[in-house]
Structure 1
Amino acid sequence: MTWTRGQSVPSASLLGGVADTPEGCAAIQRDLDRLESWVERNLMKFNKGKCRVLHLGRNNLKHQYRLGVDLLGSSFAEKDLGVLVDKLSMSQQCALVAKKPRSILGCIKKSVASRSRKVILPVYSALVRPHLEYCVQFWAPQFKKDRELLERVQWRATKMIRGLEHLS
């Protein structure tokens, strides 16, 4: 599987395909050529400096693709819709996901005086939980260490609630 990511003004496009045969590589290149001609017909421009190829899988031929006359650089990881795609190893994604809710919990701890369940739980549900659940079906943590990393964020929130400090 090969993904090429191209960013134009104002939106981003993502193109993918199976590239385990020369025919598959040629099909992806044809799609890139069609994309380039569409951009030219519509008087648009790609920022080719931001276009990257992400090679995935064992049988990937790691073909060198081009957009117009320019060769596209390759990348080890790309972020798409907030999800880091990197050879489908999700430990790095779990670390990124846990970072933002931890900082939000720190802000809540500093700025919210009450430690009652009625106050902390709605704030947690509105500000922290969405970050932990966003695209979880895609990057589902498979390793115990990744699940524990995410659970520690929830334990930290539990410690903030008066009467529940002892549970974590």
Structure 2
Amino acid sequence: MGIDMKIQRWIRNWLMGRLQQIILKGELSGWREVTSGVPQGSVLGLILFNLFITDLETKCRSGLIKFADDTKLGGIANSEEDRDILQGDLNDLVNWSNRNRMKFNSEKCKVMHLGMTNKNFSYKLGTHRLEVTEEEKDLGVLVDRRMTMSRQCDVAVKKANAVLGCIRQGISSRDKEVLLPLYKALVRPHLEYCVQFWSPMFKKDELKLERVQRRATRMIRGMENLSYERRLEELGLFSLTKRRLRED
């Protein structure tokens, strides 16, 4: 990997000779040597982990995406041969995990069949048959097998409305100088987190998102009887739809 020997010796010295003890039911154990892993929260720990898993995809014929300690395997499976390629890659991942003593949590591993014409083949991780899921949260974004993003819109609206409700109940002032910064800082981010990926496909979902901003702007003193477009103009805001188009 091109790492200088002095650096290697320094890292080895940092990792070796570490001791730890635990407390169980109020009783302190004796000291035991730590023979694997890195100190949690350390800067070098992240770098060493990335180096450790760098060969994870060496034999992989399907698409493999890694982020921190999450791994996703994907590919097109229109035939039994395609299915066997994916299953073979899963087998290689299991072999890698056994060889490197870093087991996958099979209970958290699932398969999502994208598209309505998907063959819906079954897959295994070792001896564990992977559960089929209709939707899965990935880095805070809810992805469904139809890729409509409607469920993600519902989740975003629910979170934003919950925060907006707390502001309505907890803040007595209705001044623009108070409510507008709170809306921008605490509510709108829920409606725009990673929105470049899940921007709504359907008008109904677009209206759901916009309805939150409509409600928020109406809470401000002096805006109650103005049209939505006029409220945006007075407050110096764009519609959420226009903000999404501008950011694309």
Q: How does 1:4-83 map to 2 (within 5 A)?
A: 11-83=69-141
Aligned match of 1:93: 152
Task: Quote the offset at 1:11 in angstroms.
Answer: 3.2
Q: 2 CA distance for matches of 1:99 and 1:166?
A: 25
- Per-residue CA shift, 1:53-104, capped at 9, x if unaligned? 1111244221111111222121111111122221212222211110000000
Q: 2 CA distance for matches of 1:24 and 1:139?
A: 28
Task: Quote the offset at 1:3 in angstroms.
Answer: 9.8
TM-score (norm 2): 0.60
Contact 2:153–2:209 (Cα < 8 Å) also in 1: yes
Contact 1:20–1:59 (Cα < 8 Å) also in 2: no
SS of 2:107's equivalent in the other structure is: strand
Contact 2:149–2:199 (Cα < 8 Å) also in 1: yes
Q: 2 CA distance for matches of 1:130 and 1:15?
A: 30
Q: CA RMSD in A?
A: 2.2
Q: Is the alpha carbon distance of 1:148 and 1:3 closer, same or farther for their aligned partners in structure 2, counting shifts above 3 Å? A: farther
Q: Structure 1: state its 5+ residue gaps.
A: 5-9
- Per-residue CA shift, 1:104-140, capped at 9, x if unaligned? 0011111222211111111111111111001212221
- Per-residue CA shift, 1:14-54, capped at 9, x if unaligned? 21111123332222112211211121122122221221111
**Bigger Rg, which one:** 2
Q: 1 CA distance for matches of 2:85 and 2:120?
A: 14
Match among 131, 146, 153 for residue 190 of structure 2: 131
Q: 2 CA distance for matches of 1:26 and 1:164?
A: 61
Q: Is the alpha carbon distance of 1:3 and 1:127 closer, same or farther for their aligned partners in structure 2, counting shifts above 3 Å? A: farther
Q: Which has the higher strand share?
A: 1
Aligned match of 2:217: 158
Identity rate of aligned residues, in percent? 52
More relative contact order, 1 or 2 (CA 8 Å, 6+ apart): 1
Q: 1 CA distance for matches of 2:201 and 2:115?
A: 19
Q: Structure 2: state its 5+ residue gaps.
A: 1-61, 229-248
Q: 2 CA distance for matches of 1:74 and 1:112?
A: 44
Match for 1:16: what amino acid?
Answer: G
